[in-house]
Structure 1
Amino acid sequence: MLVAVGIGPGDPELLTVKAVNLIKAADRVFVPGKVARDIIAPYRTDPVVLSFPMTADEDYIKRCIEENARTIAPVARDGLAVFCILGDPNFYGTFGRLCAVLDEVYPEIEYHSIPGVSSITAFASATGTALSGGIVITDGSELTAQIRMKVRRPQEVADELRKSGYSTFLLAERMYMDGQRIYGTDDLPEESAYFSILYAGK
């Protein structure tokens, strides 16, 4: 099993209790560089430092990710491998690309992720800024997705978004609470709870 753990924006005390417990319990911990290694140092001192280069050379990035997958695979196949990622694993991180390689080359390996404090929520606290209303978050790429919060009528919202080219929808209701439900494009409910998020992708 491979578990990607979000380790937050930099302060070791901003890791979740679940993240710390997994880091301590893992057969082997992997980190994508020295910054991540230093963040988890209070909880684990023997991580394997992997190379995830910051470069525009896509071929080189792909080779590095494939090599990292080969390093992680034997541990994940036979035990618990924990991959620590700055911020949140699924928010502009490397985990998705690593999973694509695992799916292709090591389909027998199961994986999932544990959320962490993302740079967006950390930014709001660090700057004392209360974020509300409509917000655009982008890395400069073409906008291909939206996230809507507190969606009470998801079918209605999805029908409206389809007019703008959105076709893939995921609804998460009461995440990590009792009664959590995840819905896909074909089974969106007419109504949902206050604690809900709708993802729309083109």
Structure 2
Amino acid sequence: MRLIGVGVGPGDPELATVKAVRVLATAGRVFVPVLDERDTGRAEATVRAHAAHDRIERLVFALNERRDRARRERYWDAAGARVTQWLRETGGTAAFATIGDPNVYSTFGYLAETVRDLLPEVVVETVPGITAMQALAAASGTPLVEGGEPLTLLPLARGVDGLADALRGDGTVVVYKGGRRLPEVTDVVRAAGREAVYGEHLGLAAERIGPLSEVEGAAPYLATVIVPARRDRRGGKL
């Protein structure tokens, strides 16, 4: 019995790795996370380009829940129980598709922990995927890091605390989950005297990429912001 977390990238089916495509094509069941069982989530939309639709099954998670821990955990428990049931009944290999990478702010970690508790003999693996910051860096022509520069990744779903401190250094800062607080993010970046690149719906038809300073109002939850490191000459950080 095997459970494999598969990173499918930010949304463009062509950004799924060769290994991810192979696992999605051969797994007995491909589970995908959704907010509502009636809707096709971003992970499923990507999976549908690589896996037979009759092997795809939706698992409902309270993906954006921040305050009601009991509600969030009920969904983790239900999803883990369903995956465990399938594994016990078939003894096969199940994949769980997640946007980006399964080890970077992913629902897969919670699912895997739940399944391990219910089914200790299960083998858990992950297939890395391209992250949103990599996709935005590529699409905007923005090198993420050079030489000895540090890279700081901040999730801002709970607020912009910590962003000003991160921007005091000269390394690159990437903001995830800050869409609803984008005006605050913009203000902090401006106050730090930095410029930033903004991206949303990366790799999809509604993709939007440009300077953060030109974006007004709130943005999608999964919007990404890259504040590049301060660089004054070629190879200056070597």
1:103 partner letter: R
Q: Aligned residue pairs: how many?
A: 143
1:65-80 residue pairs with structure 2 within 5 A?
65-77=76-88, 78-80=91-93
1:120-150 deviations in whole A, cap 9, x for unaligned? Answer: 211211222111111211114798xxxxxxx
Question: Pairwise CA RMSD of aligned residues?
Answer: 1.7
Give 1:76 deviation, angstroms. Answer: 3.0
2:126 partner letter: S
User: Aligned to 1:127, which of 116, 134, 140?
Assistant: 140
User: Aligned to 1:136, which of 143, 149, 152?
Assistant: 152
| 3-state DSSP of counterpart to 2:153 | coil
Give 1:26 deviation, angstroms. Answer: 0.9
Give 1:19 deviation, angstroms. Answer: 0.7
| 3-state DSSP of counterpart to 2:5 | strand
| 3-state DSSP of counterpart to 1:32 | strand
Matched, 1:15 2:26: no
Give 1:50 deviation, angstroms. Answer: 0.9
In structure 2, the residue matched to 1:151 is none
* Contact in 1 for aligned 2:83/2:115 (Cα 8 Å): no
In structure 2, the residue matched to 1:176 is none
In structure 2, the residue matched to 1:55 is 65
Identity %: 35
Give 1:104 deviation, angstroms. Answer: 2.1
Give 1:9 deviation, angstroms. Answer: 0.3
Matched, 1:64 2:87: no
Structure 1 unaligned segments of length 5 or more: list them. 144-202
Partner Cα distance (2:102, 2:12) in 1: 16
Partner Cα distance (1:100, 1:6) in 2: 17
Structure 2 unaligned segments of length 5 or more: list them. 35-39, 163-238
* Contact in 1 for aligned 2:81/2:118 (Cα 8 Å): no
Give 1:74 deviation, angstroms. Answer: 2.8
* Contact in 2 for aligned 1:4/1:113 (Cα 8 Å): yes
* Contact in 1 for aligned 2:84/2:118 (Cα 8 Å): no
Partner Cα distance (2:49, 2:151) in 1: 35
Question: Taking structure 1 as the reference length, what is the TM-score of the superposition?
Answer: 0.66
